[in-house]
Structure 1
Amino acid sequence: MARNRGRHAAQRAATTAAGHRRRGGLRSSRYRRGLGGTAIAAVVMAALTASQAPGVELGGDHGKGRSDAASDPAPGDDSYETELPPLESPRPPGTSEPGGIGDKSGIPASVLAAYKKAAESLASRTPGCGLRWELLAGIGKVESGHARGGAVDQDGTTLRPILGPVLNGQGFASIKDTDGGKWDGDTGYDRAVGPMQFIPGTWNRWGADGSGDGRKDPNNMHDAALAAGDYLCAGGRDLSSDADLDRAILSYNNSSDYLRTVLAWYEFYRKGTHSVPDRELSVLPTTPGVGEPGGSDKRAPERGGKGPAKGGEGHDKPHKPNKPSKPSKPGNPGGGPGGGGNPGGHDNPGPSPEPTKPHAIERVGAGEFTAVAGEKFTARPAVKAETSKGKGVKGVKVRFEIRGDTGARFEGGVRTVDVTTGADGVATAPTLGAGGKAGSFTVRATAPGKDLGTVEFAASVTAPQADKLTRTSDVVLEAAKNTKFAQAVEVKATRKGKAVANTTLTASFGDAATVGPYFGKDEQGKPIRSLAGLKTDSNGVVKLPDLFADDQVDTYTLTLTAEGGAVLKVKVTIKE
């Protein structure tokens, strides 16, 4: 996706569509049908030769000087489909000859459903974005021919991988592997993946679960469409604005030709479309997936090279540049999200060097931690300093700060500590002590002096809970009937061998007990055989009220239960 090579005469025809968008839409097909052959030829020639004709200016700034793009690399590689829609407005199926305009407007049912579902989801999540599903359809058409004509299973996952070219610097940018080959099967270099052509490193940041199956899979049409929508809406863009719409498309691929091609399909689909059965390629343009054998390499030819009037036809082999190009400079404004690349598109198409500067800090591992008061947290907050390609950056100072009314402290009794990232780009906070106060707080991670974002971790401290109850005396508890026991029951609550103060206990001879020992009598004179709300003192000890025997001779069981689940059973005997 990132940048297309050279300009293609047919692509420039899409400029006409972009111009008409500003002037209220494409001309009516009825008018065009009234043109004679000479007039039609003149119109087509003008479209093919126009560069920046009056009234054809893009609403945006062509990618130059942009500072509001999403702070991330463009989703995919330099490749895309260059086929353009017909000049006439779409007609419903059955109203034109097979393979005609009505057929061109068909979108596979599963893919169309994914586009619409993603747009609906974005409408509730980011209502100010104004994303239309037709924009996703335009990009999906250009990137993969709608997942190769709807070649997806019932869950929306592609039946076979859709992979872009290997990004090894030979004709395309050089992006070394970021996913261990998980998505693209290549452990040396990255390749764009799936129907919306995401580079694995970008998917790591923008991946979404649009299918609701708990996974984020770039090969799934629902996941990929929702992720693409999130990406296009980034930075608070309002896609009902021509300028923001252009910026969004350019952020996906910083090429003027790519912008015109996507806008052409966007406008075409807005005029009318219909669903066709999945994989019914006879009524769809046969646009093989990017990088697939037998299809085009989805790049327009270099200027001065030969190529067909429509992309996607006749490109059996990638068109090679006449001579090597100078590499793009990272950090140049307008080069897609993250600022890398060449402003204005593809005039400087050489491979981009790997970024080495930190782009953001991201959470590593869990984002929530819990510990018991007086103990230490078993897990530690950690973040990773990454480049825009997702690679770790060594030597970045990360500050961890405890925020909130809490007794929690890092090792050494401090609330703030600085840690430098290691070779893998990860910085891990020191061990965190919970302190003696129950409650919640946060740990905030930042990179002092750098605008790398903020990561927050939620932490909570719970009151100590006993894991063991023991009697403080081993004296046998027995008494003659209708007498008082000589010794009251006393127990100690501990956790990991340490006394637990202010923890709650219950004591009972059984909820249904009506005879046997009892703890005095209530106001109505009824024996009390269950107690609740008993609290241990500062030494973790609680002494129960005096115990009395009735006239039912037997051995009974007193059960004591502490908050947290610790249980102690005590035998109590009434004798003759």
Structure 2
Amino acid sequence: MAAHFGRRLRKGAATTAVAAAAVAALSASQAPGATGANQDRPTAAGSSTPAPDPSTDGDATGNSPYYTDLPPLKSPDPSPSPTIGTPVARGGTEAGIPATVLDAYRKAEAELRATKPGCNLPWQLLAAIGKVESGQARGGRVDADGTTIGRILGPQLDGNGFALIKDTDHGAYDGNSHYDQAVGPMQFIPSTWAWAGRDGNGDGKADPNNVYDAVLAAGHYLCRNDWDMSTEGGLHSAILSYNNSQDYLNLVLNWMDYYRKGSHSVPDGTGGVPSHRSDDHTGRPTGTPTPTEPPRTKPHHKPDKPHKPDKPGGPASPDPTPPTPPVPPKPPTPSDTVDHLSDAGTGKLTARAGDDFARRISTRAETRTGTAVGKVRIRFTITGDTDTTFAGGEKVATVATDAKGVAHAPALQAGEKTGDFTVTTAVVGHRAKGVDYTATVTARTADTLARTSDTPLTCTPGGEFADQVQVKATYKGAVADQVAATAVLVKSEDDPTENDKGPSFKDADGKPVRTLTGLKTDDKGLLTLPKLYADDTTGTFLLRITTTGGATLTVELEVAAADAPAGPSPSPSATS
């Protein structure tokens, strides 16, 4: 079956009207509304495959072939689960999903529910895609860590009946240094995996051959662009972005509906592997009955007499097989004409941690002579040690260029990691020189500090201050949350060095501490310091609080005997 799998079907290329009718019929009977999916998408003339949608990022699989087996007409028969809270069904073999693969689907659903709740991704959608892409990892042939036993590869995408995608990973994932091939149980092409890959099993690496990694990556891929799987539009757009074919969409919807009606776990390696594929070269899916031909009858006329050869010098006999006319070359697509990408007036990219970048990246697609190219998809990818994302929480965004050839990336949202990172650009489906952008995230800052109370801070020698010091930080009048700060009991206004006498904080062992570092304001911009304690020295002492960004506040602390008159007194620190 592994050898069979290496020839996986060419998507839609050889799908016949018989197969399309079968899918449509099953859609009508098992998945209401499926047959009308994506009716508003443009379709190439004479083809059932929708034209690419420029708002998507291309196909995860590079439109590689897939298994076309349909789910049984009779749905699984649900029954109570022996394990509370885990729905199962007693159905046929098609309802069985290998245990490790099923675990990967459910874990991915749980993670996406937490990280992208608006996506509403059901695990049955992942199972449906896994079924048609690899037959649930070839029936669950995975090891204990979820890595496939042997690589699952699609055909090389060399343009010979398939898309033309030259090598992008130097053969690292697919072992092919000339052309890309779809890899793993969810059939990602290397160029897509480079940005969409995820570490689903926590081993520190993203491996397309690992079912946990591949399934989680597929979930994030489907949930990008803020698509909501609980809506028809979001669900259909996501599936078509995985493999841009109406037949593929209908098939996945049918399997998803089938699994929703019931499924159960089977041991790894015992799942069934489909046998019908979309790249069957007979002109119909494997296993489809040959259309019945009418019986042939004997001719009633006499056969023609043998043709006499022409006399010498007579006219030459016509060639019974006229030459095939040359196929005209395909006109270049807009992407084919792009020579390079250039900046379109982006400007300096900088933001404080946690803020949105004020500027958006703008990139222009141009021909060799500098002419703008519209309707070209540009992929923006965030790279480097950063937690900055595009709006929506993604590291990758794809935007089509406008009539002026310019694509505006979504707004960047700075994370908490400070420093520089890079945003790279590329033309989707075409090699052209890109342009890189350096962006910087600076630390959160405050420009103002103020006490939240005007109560004097007083204490008797050897005692503790009744009130804790609390301040509020703001930046341009707004709350400055998560801003780093330090607090030091200084010697005087002009001498910021640490005082060696007077009030102090205490460490865990009760020893005096007069410098606090690593402080940070809360989400309301408030900073509350620990309790302060006085030694036997009386006088007025100074506590200086400083934040990132330069905001500084000096607070007076008064230590006086109980019977001493109130009022300012010279600080012993000032004369020491």
TM-score (norm 2): 0.51
Residue of structure 1 in register with 2:26 after alignment: 17
Shift of 1:394: 3.9
Residues 513-538 of structure 1: CA distance to partner in whole angstroms, max 9, x if unpaired? 9xxxxxxxx7489xxxxxx9999xxx
Counterpart residue type for residue 309 of structure 1 = G
- The whole-number CA distance in structure 2 between the counterparts of 1:512 and 1:270 is 62
Quick check: 1:162 aligned with 2:149?
A: no
Deviation at 1:238, TM superposition (A): 2.1
Give the equivalent residue in structure 2 for 1:305: 283
Give a deviation string over 1:3-40, Cα, whole Å, max 9, x none. 4313232353121232235648xxxxxxxxxxxxxxxx
Letter in 1 for 2:433: V
1:356–1:256 CA distance, 2 compared to 1 (3 A): closer
Aligned residue number for residue 70 of structure 2 = 84
Q: CA deviation at 1:111?
A: 0.7
* Counterpart in the other structure of 1:385: 425
Distance in 2 (alpha carbons) for counterparts of 1:149 and 1:506: 73
Residue 325 and residue 10 in structure 1: after superposition, are their counterparts in 2 closer, same or farther (change >3 A)?
farther
Q: In 2 relative to 1, CA 89–397 (structure 1 residues): closer, same or farther, beyond 3 Å?
A: closer
Which amino acid is the alignment partner of residue 69 of structure 2?
A: E
Tell me which residue corresponds to 1:71: 57
| Deviation of 1:271 (Å) | 2.0
Q: Distance in 1 between matches of 2:257 and 2:278?
A: 22
Question: Could you give the per-residue CA deviations for residues 471-495 of structure 1, whole angstroms, max 9, x where no partner exists?
Answer: xxxxxxxxxxxxxxxxxxxxxxxxx
Out of 220, 236, 256, the position equivalent to 1:230 is 220
Deviation at 1:68, TM superposition (A): 7.8
Partner of 1:146: 136
Deviation, structure 1 residue 393: 2.7
* Residue 65 to residue 156, structure 1, CA distance change in 2 (3 Å): same
Describe the superposition over 1:59-112 as per-residue Cα deviations: whole angstroms up to 9, x where unpaired: 55356577585335434442111111222223479xxxxxx9711221111111
**Would you say the 8 A contact 2:129–2:186 is kept in 1?**
yes
Match of 1:178 among 168, 183, 186: 168
> Against the structure 1 CA distance between its residues 272 and 361, is the aligned structure 2 distance closer, same or farther, given a 3 Å change threshold?
closer
Answer whether contact 2:68 2:285 (CA < 8 A) is retained.
no
Determine helix, strand or coil for the equivalent of 1:128: helix
- Cα deviation for residue 242 of structure 1 reads 2.4
SS at match of 2:265: strand
One-letter amino acid of the structure 1 residue matched with residue 99 of structure 2: A
Q: Which residue does 2:237 correspond to in 1?
A: 247
Whether the aligned pair in 1 keeps the contact of 2:196 and 2:221 (CA below 8 Å) is yes
Task: Output the amino acid matched with 1:276.
Answer: V
Amino acid at match of 1:384: T
Change (3 A) 1:402 1:309: same
- What amino acid is aligned across from residue 190 of structure 1 in structure 2? D
The CA RMSD measured in Å over matched residues stands at 5.1
Q: Which whole-Å deviations, capped at 9, do the CAs of 1:517-567 have from their partners, x for residues lacking one? A: xxxxx7489xxxxxx9999xxxxxxxxxxxxxxxxxxxxxxxxxxxxxxxx
1:461/1:91 Cα in 2 relative to 1: closer, same or farther (>3 Å)?
A: closer
1:109 to 99, 108, 116: 99
Match of 1:250, SS state, is helix
Alignment-derived partner of residue 286 in structure 1: 273
1:210 paired to 2:188: no
CA displacement at 1:327 relative to structure 2: 7.7
- Relative to structure 1, is the Cα distance of residues 386 and 91 closer, same or farther in structure 2, using a 3 angstrom cutoff? same
The residue number in structure 1 matching 2:40 is 61
| 1:187 matches 2:165 | no
Indicate how the Cα distance of structure 1 residues 4 and 103 shifts in structure 2: closer, same or farther if over 3 A, else same.
same
- Structure 1 unaligned runs (5+)? 25-54, 94-99, 288-294, 312-321, 333-354, 370-377, 408-438, 442-459, 464-500, 514-521, 526-531, 536-576
- What CA distance in whole angstroms lies between the structure 2 residues aligned with 1:367 and 1:326? 43
Contact 1:82 1:300 in 2 (8 A): no
- CA contact under 8 A between 2:11 and 2:279: conserved in structure 1? no
> Is the contact between residue 69 and residue 248 of structure 1 (CA under 8 Å) also seen in structure 2?
no
- Summarize the Cα distance change of 1:137–1:401 in structure 2 as closer, same or farther, 3 Å threshold: closer
Is the 8 Å Cα contact of residues 52 and 244 (structure 2) preserved in structure 1? no
Q: Evaluate the alpha carbon distance shift between residue 384 and residue 534 of structure 1 in structure 2; reply closer, same or farther with a 3 A threshold.
A: closer
For the pair 1:264 / 2:266, whether they are aligned, the reply is no
Distance 1:214 1:88, change over 3 A: same
Name the SS for the 1:230 alignment partner: helix
Structure 2: distance between partners of 1:261 and 1:121: 26
SS at match of 2:119: coil
Match in the other structure for 2:504:
none
How far apart in 1 are the matches of 2:229 and 2:184?
24
Answer whether contact 1:73 1:389 (CA < 8 A) is retained. no
Check if 1:200 corresponds to 2:208: no
> Is the alpha carbon distance of 1:524 and 1:363 closer, same or farther for their aligned partners in structure 2, counting shifts above 3 Å?
closer
Residue by residue over 1:397-440, the C-alpha shift from the partner in whole angstroms, topping out at 9 and shown as x without a partner, is 77879898799xxxxxxxxxxxxxxxxxxxxxxxxxxxxxxx99
Is 1:367 aligned to 2:386, yes or no?
A: yes
The answer to whether the 8 A contact 2:198-2:214 is kept is yes
**What SS does the corresponding residue of 1:89 show, helix, strand or coil?**
coil
Contact 1:21 1:267 in 2 (8 A): yes
- The residue identity in structure 1 corresponding to 2:36 is E
- Secondary structure (helix, strand or coil) at the match of 1:359 reads strand
Q: Is the contact between residue 84 and residue 310 of structure 1 (CA under 8 Å) also seen in structure 2?
A: no
Partner of 1:6: 14
TM-score with structure 1 setting the length? 0.51
Contact 1:69/1:234, CA 8 A, preserved across alignment: no
Partner letter of residue 146 of structure 1?
Q
Deviations 1:293-325 (A, max 9, x none): xx77x42446x83553359xxxxxxxxxx9899
Structure 1 residue 363 displacement after superposition: 3.3
Q: Distance in 2 between matches of 1:534 and 1:244?
A: 55
- Aligned to 1:158, the other structure's residue is in SS state coil
Task: Output one character per residue of 1:178-206: Cα deviation in whole Å (capped at 9) or x when no partner.
Answer: 22222112222211111000111111221
| 5+ residue gaps, structure 2 | 1-8, 43-49, 80-89, 290-325, 337-373, 389-417, 448-472, 476-482, 487-494, 502-508, 512-534, 546-576
Alignment of structure 1 residues 133-532 onto 2, 5 Å? 133-280=123-270, 284-287=271-274, 298-301=277-280, 305=283, 307-310=285-288, 326=330, 329=333, 359-367=378-386, 381-388=421-428, 393-394=433-434, 502=496, 504=498, 523=536
Structure-2 change in CA distance of 1:175 and 1:65 (3 Å): closer
Matched to 1:360, the amino acid is R
Q: Give the conservation status (yes or no) of the 8 Å contact 1:146–1:195.
A: yes
Mark the CA change 1:328 to 1:128 in structure 2 (over 3 Å): closer, same or farther.
Answer: farther
What is the rounded CA distance, in whole Å, between the counterparts of 1:7 and 1:240 in structure 2?
29
Q: CA 1:61–1:117 in 2, change beyond 3 Å: closer, same or farther?
A: farther
- Decide whether the 8 Å contact of 1:14 with 1:84 is kept in 2: yes
Distance apart, 1:127 and its partner CA: 2.0
1:82/1:310 contact within 8 Å kept: no
Give the superposition deviation at 1:368: 8.1
Q: CA deviation at 1:147?
A: 0.3
CA pair 399-202 structure 1, distance change in 2 beyond 3 A: same
Q: Which amino acid aligns with 2:269?
A: R
